[in-house]
Structure 1
Amino acid sequence: MPTATISAPRPADHPMRGILLRIGSVVMFGIMQAAMKLAGEHGVIAIEMVFYRSIFGLPIVLAWLAIGPGFATIRPNRPRAHVWRSIIGLSGITLNFTALILLPLADATTIGFTAPIFATILSALLLHEHVGRHRWLAVAIGFLGVVVITRPGAASGLPAIGILVALGGAVGTSAVTVTLRQLGSTETVGAIVFWFFVGCAIVGGIGTAIWGSGHDAATFGLLTIGAWAGAAAQLLMTASLRAAPVSTVAPFDYLQIIIAISLGWLIWATGPSLATLAGAAMIAGSGLYTAYREHRLRRDSVAATPPV
C-alpha cells in the first residue's frame, strides 16, 4: 500500500498532473502487491521480499537521484533519525508482506488502509496534536469496518494471525507517517528514500542469508517486477505531491482497493465477499473524511492567520 512521503515546495499547482501521477502510483503499488503475493506462493518469505525489493529497486532510486535532485541530497542531517525511521519502516513493510502471504489480496490491502486511522491516534498520543470529536468518530467507523471485514466468530472468516499481522503492518505504516512529519523539517526526500532502501537491503540481506532459500527464474522475475513497481510507485507518489497538494491527490489512494479486488479476480479468480466490500467502504469513508477534516482545519488556520 502507499506509504507517506514528503513534498518539496512547488512553484505552482497542477492538479490534473498530480492526480494522474497519483493514479499511476496506485497502479504500481497494486502490481507490486500482486507480484509479491505470487512470489509468496512460490515459497518466498517476507524478509526475502524486503531484500529483493530493495536490491532490485535501488537502481531506479539511484537513476532518479541522478536525473533529479542529485546525489548531494542523500547526505543526512540526523543519521540517528534515519536509523529509527528505517527500523519502523522495515517492521511495517515486513508485516505488510507477511499479510499478503496470509490473506487474500483484497483483504490485506483493505486492512492496510487502516494506517491513517492509527496515524490519527499516534499523532494525538506522540505529537500531542488536537483531534476533535469528528475525527475520533471517523476512527471508530474505520475500526468498525475492520470488524465487518474480519467477521469475528464466523466459520468462514479470515485467519486471525493474518488479521493481526495486517493490523500490525498498518500500525507500522502509520508510525512511519508520524516519523516523516518530524524528519521533514531537516531531511530531503532523496535522503529519506535512499537510506530506507539501503537499510532494508542490509537487514533484508542478513535475514535472507539466514532464512532464505533458492528460487527459480520465474520467481525472481516476479520479485523483479514487484521491486521495480514498488520503486516506481514511490517516485510517482513523490512527483504527485510536487504537482498538487496532498488534499487533492490523497483520496485517489483508495483506488488501490479496487485494483486489488480486480487483480484478485483476474489472477486468483477470487471475488470479494459482501463483508469485505462493506468494510472497505467504511474504512475508505473514514480515511477520506479524516483527510477532508485535516484539509479544512489547515485551510481555516491559514485563513485566520493575519497578514505579515
Structure 2
Amino acid sequence: MSNARTDRVATGLALRLFAIACLATMSALIKLSEIRGANLAETMFHRQLWAVPLVTLWVAAGPGLKSLKTQRFGAHVWRTAVGLTGMIFTFGAVVLLPLAEAQTFQFTVPIFATLLGALLLREPTGWHRWSAVIVGFLGVLIVVQPGHQAIPVFSAIVGLLAALFVALVAITLRQIGKTESAGTTVFWFSLLSVPVLGVVYIFNFQHHDPVTWAILIATGLVGGVGQLALTGAMRFAPVSAVVPMDYSGLIWATLYGWLLFDMFPTFSTWLGAPVIIASGLYIVYREQKLARGQASYAETPL
C-alpha cells in the first residue's frame, strides 16, 4: 500500500473516530436536556435546525451549492420519513436507557442490515452471515436478560427499533447514492426535516433557562459536525475499514454515563456487548471478503 493510500485510510479512520465521539456527545446532551425538562420534539427539532447551516456551508465550500440540485426529490422525501422515524426511536432509546446500553443496541445495525439486505434487496446471504446474525441476537438476549428485568423490555424494543431504522436508512442511502452525492443527501434530509419537526415543535414549545437552551443548540451543532465527519470518512476509507471504529462509542457512552449521570453498564451488558460486537465485525469481514472475491472474478479475463 502506497504512503498516499495509507494516509487517506488513516484520515478516514480519524474522521470516523471523531464522528463517533461527536455522536456520543450528542447522545449525552440529549439526555442532559431531557433531565432539564426538554422533551423529545424539542431535541429533534434543534438537532435538525442547527445542522442546516453547517451542511450548507460544507457543501458551499466543497462541490458548491449547484450540486444540491436533484432529480430525485421523492427519494429524499422517503429518506426523510425513514430518518425521522428512526430518530424518534434513537433519541427515545437515549432517554429511556443508560447511555452504554443505548449504544450497545446500536451495535446490532450490521445484523439488521444483513436481514434487510436479504429480505428487501434479495442479496445472497450465506450461512456464515446467518450464523453471525443468530449469535448477535443471542448477545442481545444476554444484555436484556428476559425474565430478570436487567433492562426493561419496552426500552430494549425501542433500542432495537432504533438500530433497525438505522439499517433501513443505510439501505436507502445505498440506493440514493447511485445518483446523489452524500452532501446533497444530508442537506435535503436536514432541510426537509425542519418544517415537519417545526409543526410538532410549535405544540411542544417550552421556556427554558439559558443553560438548557445552550444544550439544545449544542445538540444540533455537535450532531451536525458528527454527521459531516461520518460523510467525510467515507471519502477516504472503505466501509469495511471504518465501521470497526464505531465500537469506540461504547467507551464514550460509558465515560459520559459515569461522569454526568453516575451510571455504569450492567454486568449483563459487559457480557453481551462483546458478543454483539463480534457478530457485527464478522458480518463486515464477510462482506469485505465477498466484495474482494467478486472484484477478482470481474477482473478475470474470459
Q: Aligned partners of 1:300, 1:13: CA distance in 2, in Å?
A: 25
Q: Deviation at 1:295?
A: 0.4
4+ runs deviating over 6 angstroms: 10-13
- Residue 120 of structure 2: which of 123, 126, 130 is its match? 126
Q: Deviation at 1:173?
A: 0.7
Q: Aligned partners of 1:47, 1:171: CA distance in 2, in Å?
A: 21
What residue in structure 2 maps to residue 255 of structure 1?
Answer: 248
**Which one-letter code corresponds to 2:55 in the other structure?**
V
Residue ranges of structure 1 left out of the alignment (5+ in a row)? 1-9
- TM-score w.r.t. structure 2 length? 0.95
- Which residues of 2 match residues 1-308 of structure 1 at below 5 A? 14-155=8-149, 157-306=150-299
Q: Deviation at 1:87?
A: 0.2
Of all paired residues, the percent bearing the same amino acid is 40
Q: Deviation at 1:129?
A: 0.2
Q: Aligned partners of 1:114, 1:47: CA distance in 2, in Å?
A: 25
Q: Deviation at 1:13?
A: 6.7
Q: Deviation at 1:34?
A: 0.5
**Which one-letter code corresponds to 1:16 in the other structure?**
A
Q: Aligned partners of 1:283, 1:200: CA distance in 2, in Å?
A: 32
Deviations 1:35-94 (A, max 9, x none): 111111112222221110111221111111121121111112211111111100100011
Residue ranges of structure 2 left out of the alignment (5+ in a row)? none
Q: Aligned partners of 2:7, 2:179: CA distance in 1, in Å?
A: 23
The answer (yes or no) to whether the contact 1:82–1:195 under 8 Å persists in 2 is yes
The answer (yes or no) to whether the contact 1:45–1:98 under 8 Å persists in 2 is no
Q: Aligned partners of 2:117, 2:31: CA distance in 1, in Å?
A: 31
**Which one-letter code corresponds to 1:158 in the other structure?**
I
The answer (yes or no) to whether the contact 1:50–1:200 under 8 Å persists in 2 is no
Q: Deviation at 1:12?
A: 8.7
What residue in structure 2 maps to residue 6 of structure 1?
Answer: none
**Which one-letter code corresponds to 1:106 in the other structure?**
A
**Which one-letter code corresponds to 2:274 in the other structure?**
A
Secondary structure in 1 aligned to 2:203? helix
Q: Deviation at 1:214?
A: 2.2
